[in-house]
Structure 1
Amino acid sequence: MLASKKIIIIGCGGSGKSTLARALSKKINVPVYHLDKLFWRDNWQMTSKPYQQKVINNVISQDNWVIDGNYGATMTLRIAAADTIIFLDRNRFVCLLNVFKRFIKYKGKSRPDMHDNCPEKIDFDFLKWILTFPEKRKPSIYKMLSASKGSKNIVILKNSQQIRLFLASFH
């Protein structure tokens, strides 16, 4: 059970960050912010890093929140403000399967956690990012988590059962 109400959720694409963020937000009754929705503009145009930092500063100044997404330009700000860091450390092939399921479900449409005019897509760079996440991204995430140990509540969830049990711990 979490005492905090300032929570960030990070993990590979397709790990379930947005799904967990929505469910957790409902369970603990705090607003949820999806970085994909905040940082992308029409037709998959990314906002500038200064804009992203301004948006995050506005969000983290609030009393409570759940924020999902990675985005290195704002990671330090979010970690500093968060009470809890949840890392979805899922198998890359589970993430790929989830991305393909999401593509089929939202093909031609924008998903709820994405900017309105960004229809779901899969491209080579995104697939490569997922496939290389364990080698290229995960070590730095664990280093960051280790540096935050003691000052932040760290939750690492590796599979669907752990995620379900984690959510079930909130009544």
Structure 2
Amino acid sequence: MKIIIIGSSGSGKSTLAREIAKKTDYPVLHLDKVFHKYPSDLGRIKLREATKDFISQNENGIIDGNYGSSLSERLPYIDEIVWLKTSRFKTVFRVIKRSILVRLFHKNRSDMAEEFREKWDKDYLEFLNFVWTFPEKEFPQIEQKISEFAVWDKVNILKNRKDKEKYLIKYDRKTKN
């Protein structure tokens, strides 16, 4: 089973990927970990390479991250899409909260490249704007890609904690069998 988890930054993609991996022992490819290891142009190339390698080398696996530029390369090979549609207030709050925690405790996130250093500057404010406007700007592009590949039947939309808990129940059953 190949799963991709998409949604805005701060929607809980990496957390959900870790939860599914814990229940299934599936390997996880965190796209942020690959992309942020390199300058952005090279990062996009490395992202595509890592995605292709991960898909070809793993019968089962979870790919955590959006990166619309590589979504077309993932969609033909996946069995399931989990799309986290968390409210923009919650996503922005979570992004700011994790930035503060990383800054206070000087510990990088496990799903992020060690080389990545977040700065509270103009780029960070632009990133927060990207998170805030993600539903208007990115959802239509994601919907278009899903339609192009006719994979709507593989999409699970999760909007809140209750949806996530219901979704995770199926993995509890699989691990008990």
Quickly name the TM-score band, shorter chain normalised: 0.7 to 0.9
Deviant stretches of 4+, over 4 Å = 147-152
Matching of residues 78-157 of structure 1 within 5 Å: 78-107=74-103, 108-121=106-119, 123-149=124-150, 153-157=154-158
What is the count of residue pairs matched by the alignment? 165
* Counterpart residue number, 2:45: 50
**How far 1:52 sits from its partner (Å)?**
2.1
Contact 1:109 1:119 in 2 (8 A): no
**How far 1:148 sits from its partner (Å)?**
4.3
| In 2, Cα distance between equivalents of 1:142 and 1:73 | 14
Aligned with 1:30 (options 23, 26, 30):
26
Q: What secondary structure sits across from 1:26 in the alignment?
A: helix
**How far 1:15 sits from its partner (Å)?**
0.3
**How far 1:103 sits from its partner (Å)?**
1.4
Mark the CA change 1:119 to 1:9 in structure 2 (over 3 Å): closer, same or farther: same
Matching of residues 60-75 of structure 1 within 5 Å: 60-61=55-56, 62-75=58-71
Structure 1 alignment gaps of length 5 or more: none
More helix by share: 2
| In 2, Cα distance between equivalents of 1:21 and 1:94 | 18
1:49-70: per-residue Cα shift (whole Å, max 9, x none)? 3332221110110211100111
C-alpha RMSD of matched pairs (Å): 1.9
Contact 2:11 2:90 in 1 (8 A): yes
| In 2, Cα distance between equivalents of 1:157 and 1:113 | 21
**How far 1:38 sits from its partner (Å)?**
1.4
Percent identical residues? 39
